[in-house]
Structure 1
Amino acid sequence: MRTFLDFEKPIADLEAKIEELRHLTSDDTVNIAEEVGRLEVKVDKLLRQTFAKLTAWQKVQVARHPQRPHGIDYIAALIDDFTPLAGDRSFGEDAAIIGGLGRFRGQSCVVIAQEKGHDMATRIKHNFGMPKPEGYRKAIRLLELAGRFNLPVITLIDTAGAYPGIEAEARGQAEAIARSIDACLAAPVPIISTIIGEGGSGGAIAIATGNRVNMLEHSVYSVISPEGCASILWRSSDNAQDAAEALRITAQDLEKLGVIDAIVPEPLGGAHRDPGGIIAEVGTMIEDQLRPLLLLDGAALKQQRREKFLEMGQKGL
């Protein structure tokens, strides 16, 4: 059953009417089919009008949609013979970050993905996609492994941010994130990063410091969540919508600023309406970006990443 967001209520009402008509039994099936067709055209038009002018806050809601495809879905569809590797070889395993070896369209690679979970049980298992230090140290281990065996790295970002709990801070959360960013910059192999949902603060950039950084059309990427920003500036999370606009967290804003390289168009109504379609689109973009990067040596790849992030933020100012 599809979940609708608050601003999608008119669309939800029309789709409910369509489902109701489809389940009617009547001798006048022709008229019912015509009415269903008319309503489907109306839904399509309303979807196009609504999603053509989404506000930043509405994009945050779409990026957080519970039925949006997650990291594990991309791995299942795009990576053959995926072999997960667990643990940071120091403290333990962190299920918020999934990583391992596999083959992407024939090319051996390392994959690192943040996973939120699809239902309450898996969300708890994956800590709602919020990694602890051991998650980032696992990512560092995988990045070093990729460099040792000359394997390109694909990262998939979807997190509200790194876990802010006391135990995470006690185990060196900030240091782990900083070291993960450094490991990305130092890797002598291509790194392609894609924000598939939320890209929250250091929790995201820790594995998003790539040669190419992409965002899905309705994903968001921010230094802090809108709610967190509003709590600081307005002393109330009620101003989250204002914060979302001020933060310039949408893919369109960040492309103008030069923070990201490309936007992956989403299916009409969001990635959750056609998971297979959006995953295929992401795969095609990664393949196109990876091909020229594989021709560069390690020094050139590291220099390209360094220059990319030193110049970041200057465009569009």
Structure 2
Amino acid sequence: MRLSTVILPDRRWSEGGRESWQRAEELGFHAAYTYDHLSWRSFRDGPWFGAIPTLTAAACATSRLRLGTLVTSPNFRHPVTLAKELISLDDVSGGRITLGIGAGGSGFDATALLPAGQEPWTPRERADHFAEFVPLLDRLLTQDVVSHDGERYSATEVRNIPGCVQRPRLPFAVAATGPRGLRLAARYGQAWVTTGDPKIAETGTPAQSRAAIAGQIEKLGKACAEADRDVAELDKILLTGFCPERPLESFDAFVEFAGAHAELGIDEIVIHWPIADSIFAADMAVFEKIATEALAQLG
């Protein structure tokens, strides 16, 4: 199992932003990700910086740590411009980028590019955009010249030379639980991402949460079988913080949590970098002990 972290882009680079990414590398995390949002929930009225510039700075401040988004969505991204930014970021980082990508939700930034008063996309509309977004982005990152005339996106003789440092392209970690998203993960993903079952995030039990994740992995396996692909080829990533369990409450709580989810088939657990006075508040000493000792404790 691997252990990674999410560092939210809520601090100026000169006021602790740089140090968090460097410390993540020192602690031995496999990867450090950040959210790709224009704003997010309780952080909406506070500082919040762009994901790609933040990751570019992090790439220059570190040398071994994998970096990525968790996750990017079509809510305010276009495949053509995103591909150019990702190729540049992969180059700057020396091939250390993973693109976490999902269909998006109905949060504050879901309507940022829509006319005032227009409702955000419905779940079906988000799925429709995602179903066209992912294959087009795959082509843009693997082909020198791409043209596309789709229902939602267009590209006319777009050049992306020299392409990614990672070949044939940087890896996709596809966040999905529904049938359409799982099919995209099975076809295009190098990893799959879950946050558990949102329906039981507040009121469910640990047993219910773990059963839900096991069910999601089973559905992923079926989607891979339909795509004639071995589900073992995909890493299974669990982004914590949205399950009824609280693995950062203590070192022992995390070890038990990680061991149980490893048995379910999770390959990588992602924990949030502590932020005081927020839903991601945690004891930094416990967090650092988890980072440096927990996986060894699992054996």
**Could you state the TM-score of these two structures normalised by the residue count of structure 2?**
0.34
Structure 1 or 2: more helix by fraction:
1
TM-score by length of 1: 0.33
Structure with max Cα Rg: 1
